Structure 1
């Protein structure tokens, strides 16, 4: 019974959600389970997802492809999400591009939240990711990037 209830609410979410069909989103996470879950959620909304498991892999993808939104895990080995978004912001500024970015993290402190925004993220989502929260954040950022005024 719970699955039917969840399925009907999921369908309501899709019906009330602006179309995400064809969006290109890069998801970077060193945790395979989290990467699979996030990808599954996004693909169920028609998003074309590219994945990377490290910051270095992500930087290479960003050099060669354009994405509508970036979603980066914060706690990754070698290069964390804060450092990655700073590098991406420098790279995209040189290319005169701005791509909205969401921090995806298990960190819940106010310091982590503040550092994410100071580093260059426009959104912040806690793990484990919930579909409704992720989709709401994406549509908010799309409205932000399309309007250009932050509202």
Structure 2
């Protein structure tokens, strides 16, 4: 049996909507990833510090703190460890200034809702250097 394209990757999925978290987790796990799920920024930061994920996928619009606040905290933690964790922003906001704000916060990729599931896989592939089957 061929190896799954995302085998060995730890991915942190952050979204306040449980159905969205579960959908992304299912998609990524089906492709071999080890998925860690968080429903808010504080939970995500705790899991980030405990599990040291290879990549973060985060919703931007969440109650309390948003995905940009999460990314700023991750950048501070990464600076202490001399590394950079790649991250994908997921958002219902489609304005250029919203995209720019997320990229300035530290996300490398910005996907707008509704997100095509192959778009998530392609973004993960691009940021991790993993080849997906054609």
Regarding TM over 0.5, the answer is yes
TM-score, reference length from structure 2 = 0.89
> How many residue pairs get matched?
128
Match of 1:99 in 2: 85
Match of 1:67 in 2: 53
Gaps of 5+ in 1: 1-14, 144-151
Q: Residue 5 of structure 2 aligns to a residue in which SS?
A: coil
CA distance in 1, matches of 2:51, 2:106: 19
Q: How far is the alpha carbon of 1:131 from its aligned partner? A: 1.9
Q: Residue 137 of structure 1 aligns to a residue in which SS?
A: helix
Of residues 80, 101, 115 in structure 2, which corresponds to 1:129? Answer: 115
Q: Is 1:85 the equivalent of 2:35?
A: no
Once superposed, what is the RMSD of the aligned Cα atoms? 1.7
Q: How far is the alpha carbon of 1:49 from its aligned partner? A: 0.4
Match of 1:56 in 2: 42
Q: How far is the alpha carbon of 1:139 from its aligned partner? A: 1.0
Runs of 4+ that moved beyond 2 A: none
Of residues 99, 106, 110 in structure 2, which corresponds to 1:120? Answer: 106
Q: How far is the alpha carbon of 1:92 from its aligned partner? A: 1.1
Match of 1:21 in 2: 7
Match of 1:32 in 2: 18
Gaps of 5+ in 2: 130-134
Q: Is 1:141 the equivalent of 2:127?
A: yes
CA distance in 1, matches of 2:112, 2:20: 11
Match of 2:132 in 1: none
Q: How far is the alpha carbon of 1:129 from its aligned partner? A: 2.6
TM-score, reference length from structure 1 = 0.80
